Chain A
């Protein structure tokens, strides 16, 4: 409830593991990340294969590394990405943490939210997931995007943010 650090919390942000007290994203989001990565890998593999053919290169010169990259993207990364992300509604505002390579920790005070989007792209729709976007007037972090919420959670969180905004405006 407080803005103060819980034991081990900042450590967690540093290790790319969700710190204590943060709400993890919907588990279905891991699957969504994996599907997205699979689509990207497929495009990558096709491009590598085509380039190899066109340039008359030896087999697997390009496809080999692309396969390794695809394995990392599809099998290893989504789990780590999912584990690194989460959010918490604090006294100070909505705080989101994310990042496997570069860790980031963004807080949007509710009194600085300009408007709120809840969006569902087709893939998200199929998995009953949604994305919450908080728009601020700032140049950096003009829209803080929180992906991977279940649609119901996104609506609840949006209404909580709205309620918090009203409280501060009063």
Chain B
């Protein structure tokens, strides 16, 4: 039997010393510069008097606000939940049921520590990470509440399990050769972007103006003219040489960046979940509890896909310092991906029957909408060219052509991606295949979904389709443009599967 939960049935305030701590914390930011300012002008009596008076007024106001905030914040622990009420200008009541509490953290920072105070944070895994924090409580009260809540909520993390998986072969690992291959696929010219950004940032420190086209022409006039005289063949050879250098730099960038991140990649099965270690300079060690996995994402790249290479990530409820996706295989064959999927109980083949497509009308409408936006930008560009009579690059036709080209490409990509999107809902899972050049496959448990939304724009109503958005812990997912009756049917089916078991039971 669980010990009785701590009950606080009368609204209680946090420790009275809290407001002192909060007032000091608020002051600390302004105090040092204020003192420095006053000392630096110590000769000027009038200034010192006014500044001191303002500083004292600041302290008083800060103290009053901290006091009101403290006075108007109360908490109640009863009926299996914690309820905190803040009653300032606006009124805010937050209720957190015990069963939703994933962990209780006691934190003691320097200043509260002097007063023997702790902050108690109840972590619930709510989407935006806004949890419930009581700051500050006496250490004894904090520990009493934590012990009680931990016992009641049942599934709060226990100590680390013994890790002896070194004897077992890893589920997946990357050999240096594999890292090198991934580095080749990660070919990147980002270094030129970085260089351009660096130049843009620090151009005033350069000995010449990098944006002055005429200056470049003048500088090239000497050797450039000499180059022109060498004839077509030499120019072609020169250009080819330049491209080779670019390619080499791109390859080198890709390999270095990849090796830094993925060197020594190793994935193991442990009692606590899947454990991933990787990294050359800074090594990271992350364990994802399998029960907390919400969905599995199989990705690929436009090029690596031709040779049958994929990557695999887990979308997890367990927070990993901001990143919700845990990549468990950066470059894997189809067979490896299938085996890893089985480790978490998911079929990552992405084939078989029963796939549905989106409404083609929705795909074309979305593409038309996308190009319309960019054509509008192009019109704005033309109009501003007319008005400002700008010269050089900005005055020429190139910006407009560029805007239209980007719009066409974006529109084509969106339409193709939507036309190629397929979804399948079976008894336990939903599967979504989307994307054009580098398709993604998303597979998740139906009963781990959080919310279901059907929404329709005026155009969607006219053309008979709807957007279905499902809440997944860790990633957004909207199926844009499902035929409306199908969307309604899906809504009901999904909700039915979600209603059967509670969040705590499925995670």
- Asked whether, in the complex, the Cβ of A112 is within 8 Å of the Cβ of B450, the reply is yes
- How long is the Cα–Cα vector from A114 to B153 in the complex, in angstroms? 13
Q: Digit string of B270-292 for contact with A (CB within 8 Å is 1, else 0)?
A: 00000000000000000000000
A125 vs B88: C-alpha distance when bound (angstroms): 11
Please encode chain A, from 120 to 154, with 1 for each CB lying within 8 Å of some chain B CB and 0 for all others.
11101100000000011111111110000000000
Look across to chain B and name the residue whose beta carbon is closest to the beta carbon of A99: B455
Question: In the complex, are the beta carbons of B492 and A3 less than 8 A apart?
Answer: yes
Q: Does B235 belong to the interface (CB within 8 Å)?
A: no
Q: Write the B73-101 contact mask toward A (1 if CB under 8 angstroms, else 0).
A: 00000001100000001111111110110
Whether A139 contacts B475 by the Cβ 8 Å rule is yes
Q: Which residues of B contact A162 (CB under 8 A)?
A: 81, 95, 97
Q: Would you call A138 and B450 a contact (CB within 8 A)?
A: yes
Q: How far is the CB of B476 from chain A (nearest CB, A)?
A: 5
A60-B133 Cα distance, complex, nearest whole Å: 52
What is the distance, in angstroms, from B506's C-beta to the closest C-beta of chain A? 9
Q: Are B472 and A142 in contact (CB under 8 A)?
A: no
Instruction: Select the stretch in B123-131, B162-170, B188-196, B298-306 that faces chain A.
Output: B123-131
Mostly, the A contact residues are: mixed
| Structural contact, A115 and B124, CB atoms closer than 8 A | yes
**Is A119 in contact with B92, judged by CB distance below 8 angstroms?**
yes
Kindly list chain B residues whose C-beta atoms are within 8 Å of the C-beta of A138.
127, 449-451, 470-473
Assess whether B455 is in contact with A142, with CB atoms less than 8 Å apart: no
Would you call A137 and B473 a contact (CB within 8 A)? Answer: yes
Which of A104, A119, A137 touches B127 (beta carbons < 8 Å)? A137
**B2 near A: Cβ within 8 Å?**
no
B343 within 8 A of A: no
A168 interfacial contact with B, CB 8 Å? yes
B92 touches A117 (CB 8 A): yes
**Is B127's CB under 8 angstroms from A106's CB?**
no
- Residues from chain A with Cβ under 8 Å of B505 in the complex: 169
Nearest CB in chain A: distance from B297 CB, A: 13
Residue from A14, A119, A122, A139 in contact with B472 in the complex, judged by beta carbons closer than 8 Å: A139
* Interface assignment of B317: CB less than 8 Å from any CB of chain A: yes
The residue in chain A whose Cβ has the minimal distance to the Cβ of B478 is A140
Inter-chain CA distance A106–B473, complex, in Å, is 16
Q: Are A125 and B91 in contact (CB under 8 A)?
A: yes
Least Cβ–Cβ distance between A122 and chain B, in angstroms:
5
Beyond A92-B499, A112-B498, whether A119 also contacts B471 by CB under 8 A is: no
Selected interface stretch from B373-381, B397-405, B456-464: B456-464
Q: Known contacts A109-B498, A114-B96; can you find 7 more A-B pairs with CB under 8 A?
A: A112-B498, A116-B95, A137-B471, A138-B450, A141-B453, A165-B97, A168-B501
Chain B residues with CB under 8 Å of chain A are: 80-81, 89-97, 99-100, 124-128, 130, 132, 317, 324, 449-458, 461, 469-478, 488, 491-492, 495-496, 498-499, 501-505
Q: Which 5 A-B pairs have the closest CB atoms?
A: A138-B471, A142-B127, A138-B450, A104-B455, A137-B473
Pairs across A and B, CB under 8 Å, 22 listed: A92-B492, A92-B496, A105-B491, A108-B450, A111-B503, A113-B100, A114-B100, A115-B95, A115-B100, A115-B126, A115-B132, A117-B92, A119-B92, A120-B91, A120-B92, A122-B90, A135-B128, A136-B126, A137-B125, A138-B471, A141-B450, A141-B471
